[in-house]
Amino acid sequence: MDNNIVWHNYATTKAQRSEQKKHKPAILWFTGFSGSGKSTVANALEAALNQQGAHTYLLDGDNVRHGLCKDLGFSDADRVENIRRVGETAKLMVDAGLLVLTAFISPFKAERDMVRELVEGGEFIEVFIDTPLEVCESRDPKGLYKKARAGEIKHFTGIDSTYQPPVNPEIILDTSKNTLDQSVTQLITYLKQKHIIG
């Protein structure tokens, strides 16, 4: 890093921003195969949190690639950089006192661990959407699996690119077994048990 770049401390702290919002900040990091239900569950959870008065923001993989990460492809190196940028963005949002929901395949354990290390203990909640690959492929909401099987898409997670499942995630959901409401209830219960929301 350039020696001329100096970190500035501000009068308003994360604790003060959090107190203003009446809940603790955290990252809920949804990871799993394409079609597993990450975005669907994260979207429903954000709506439920919003109804309870929580201050949230949802960072979704496709949406971020329209702007912040539109210059990146899907090679392993680009996937790592994608998650690094999202992690740094989520860190800033946690500092702002928000509950940040992120929906990214994020196939590599090292990158998810890197984001965990960016924030304080208890502020990174890994939500593993453990929906079986065959179920995700049968859903194929964007037609991506069909293209990957036909060789039209390279480096597709679960087909010709590796997915490293979380070793010890805070929450495991399987959208082939749980309804959307059940998944949201499980997440809300966790947040209340950890005193992140009231």
For the record, the structure tokens of 144 come out as 């991506």
Q: 3-class DSSP state for residue 150? A: coil
Catalytic residue among 36, 106, 161, 183: 106
Q: Is 106 designated active site?
A: yes
**Cα 161 from Cα 163, distance rounded (Å):** 7
Q: How many CA atoms lie within 13 A of 21 on its CB side?
A: 25
Show the CA angle centred on residue 168, arms to residues 92 and 148, nearest 5°.
80
Q: How many residues does the chain have?
A: 198
Other beta carbons within 10 Å of 46: 19
Backbone angles phi, psi at 2, to 5 degrees: -60, 130
H/E stretch holding 19 reads helix 14-21
The residues that are catalytic are 106
